[in-house]
Structure 1
């Protein structure tokens, strides 16, 4: 198992390298010069050129890339081209709200998706199964930002049950923090819940027809024991894979949802940085997200070992 983990970590190195090259290159293809934007419309060409020299934008692209990678290797994410504030400080303010939203969305997806999918898989062509089909079709057909607007209109504007915008730290007021988090998390987590429910339903239904299920029933185990200990456990590996792969969609959706509910987070930080051509903020933030994605997939690999003993012997 240890060699398996080391191998997975080594595989992450070229992934990080390719991701850094892609992020760095694509940002340079965006029209617009950061020096022009920062200097303002009244700046002379000479003033813009001086600013480009100060920001290091006059150096060749490979030199800029190597300098950036060297800073990352030292744990330095750089400073904002526009404000001069270290990116680390900006991430300390913006990353926790986004991770908080992503975690809450995952919890909602797991609590709704896996039980619904399991029941529908155990009872195919039942009312549960038809209800699941209606839920998934209706949910997947509505974009998360549109669902967020509908929830905002219903529960915040019309009924006034929940706040419409903003964020409260759970360290300051846990209850009020949950009230501010509820609508964004539901808007973001419902789509993932539908995906998980469909995959869970398919895998559980396939597992219920296996010989080990009939053997478990022949031993006199109760239905819930057969489903939870045997059918669901043997169906969890593909479900864990889907949960890990959906991280990208969750983080991308968080960017939009944060704008809908006027929440602080990476969404506002990245969008503002792109509009201002603040390369350092965008590329450093995206690399952090790549690292998070790799770590989540590593956690999924560890979960495989817990769910399937054969993985631990690799």
Structure 2
């Protein structure tokens, strides 16, 4: 996997919509050197975003015991997007580094809202109720976001390039701002492997095994908010990464979260960087945003897995 990640990084740096001389990579005096620097920066961003989304999706599916759970389907991405639009339109926030705080807040509120709605009634928050509540919250929040954008053309111009999901046009300063949150989220997520393995047996049995499911669930939930909120703030709502990647990993490695979590991060990083690389060359000289490429690839793959009944078990 390390070799695959390294190969994808080299491919992403060397391949683009414009042909450049490889010798310019080390020659700072060459005008094409700046092209390679920009590609390297967006590659690092793609790695961080992909790893965060893959890890967040694996945690969310394990925590909710729902194979369809991912930050996009359970309202986390929609909440982060709405908070960012609110910050731009109402509060006049213009610095991309400042979007992070609003994205985290929106993701957290959406996650709490979905879980609160799903917990109403009997049986508490079952996987089916979480999916329905997530779909409802996503639809409602997305409609509010669209309404605000239609009412404010200036905000729409600022938001529309971010909305489709892209890792281009971002500087390393933005990644540096978000990196501590992503690292903290990754550490919390990876330490939750035992909890997620226990939850796969059911909450009652997990408590019988000595797990404090409420406390541990809050820790994993915080990890999901940090990872999904940070990734959404950096690159926009990129679909299917958090949904497909954990399933692909489970098909190959099984359902042990001690292996699923780190490999979901690695495969997610590879998926996003490859999608960004393909988007640069598929329609030259224009670029296709990474969020569009992941959706184009993700939909048929997901439908094929559903048709063959090969979704990774939880």
TM over 0.5: no
Tell me the TM-score normalised to structure 1 length: 0.31
Tell me the TM-score normalised to structure 2 length: 0.31
**Structure exhibiting the larger radius of gyration computed from Cα positions:** 1
